[in-house]
Amino acid sequence: MGLIGGSLARALRRGGQCDEIVGCGRDEAHLQKALTLGVIDRYETDIAAAVAGADVVVLAIPLRAMVSVLQQMLMGLAPNAVVTDVGSAKGCVVEEARAILGGRLCDFVPGHPIAGTEKSGVEASFAELFDQRSVILTPLEETAPEQSARVRAMWETAGASVTEMTVLHHDEVLAATSHLPHLLAFSLVNTLASLDESKDIFAYAAGGFRDFTRIASSDPVMWRDICLENRSAMLEVLQLFNHDLQQLEEAVRDNDGDAVVEVFSRAKRTRDRFCG
């Protein structure tokens, strides 16, 4: 019952497609808050009890909690229930699901909503989070088509646009477009915080700095899990970035204005084309 799980619950309630929404977690006070806010209809702290009788089970949990939750969930899962997740890395989740779900792998539809904010907790959730945002599904060869269709319908009810791709392609794309930017934002703020002049640096930070580093306010534990669980793709894109950054450093050191303008111009053209 965090930002993603809470927002999905709110969006599905808005869409009128759920008879009952059950929250699950370890912190009962947090679950009570979700109940008070009207995000859920009831809650359970026992995972098997929470999923009992559910048509759809959404795992909105840290990546490194996946094994334990899958194991505890399995005994309570209804015969035709579909299971999906919202993890930002898919290879690790699929590997664990294969090992644990066995014959129920046909009911598993890995997913990832490309939406979020730097805030966390159910109190930060809102029904419009997924409106006109992308959700990527990475169904497996074993995944039953009708289960994929159910998860697609759920996300479309929440306002999202749903696409599909392979697990490997997802992890490569997200390493470059999401995981690397978060790592850079965390690293930049950490570097500046270690400077003797850090108080002045942050006191006079302009809008560009605040925009670029906003995501450094995200949950550190969640992003630790993402970086480590998708480390193969992360290392590849990090090596490429480090190479390009070194070339830019050399251009600045050599007072090579043409090389600097070339990098900046190519970056501007590319961003204007795809994000303008």
Q: What is the dihedral of CA 77, 80, 85, 91, to 10 degrees?
A: 100
Whether 276 has a pLDDT exceeding 80, the answer reads no
Note the pTM of the prediction, 2 decimals: 0.89
Cβ neighbour number for residue 209 with a 10 Å cutoff: 15
Measured CA to CA, the distance from residue 148 to residue 82 in angstroms comes to 8
Structure tokens at 275: 């994000």
Q: Domains in the chain, start-ordered, CATH in brackets?
A: 3-165 (3.40.50.720), 170-275 (1.10.3660.10)
Tens digit of each residue's pLDDT (9 = 90 or more) over 138-161? 999 999 999 999 999 999 999 999
Please give the pLDDT value at position 31: 96
Tens digit of each residue's pLDDT (9 = 90 or more) over 204-260? 877 888 888 999 999 898 899 999 999 999 999 999 999 999 999 999 999 999 999
Provide the strand spans (E) within the chain.
22-24, 42-44, 56-59, 82-85, 108-109, 111-113, 134-137, 161-164
Measured CA to CA, the distance from residue 114 to residue 255 in angstroms comes to 40
3-state secondary structure of 187: helix
Instruction: With cut-offs at 50, 70 and 90, classify the pLDDT of residue 17.
Output: confident
Q: Are 171 and 94 in contact (CB under 8 A)?
A: no
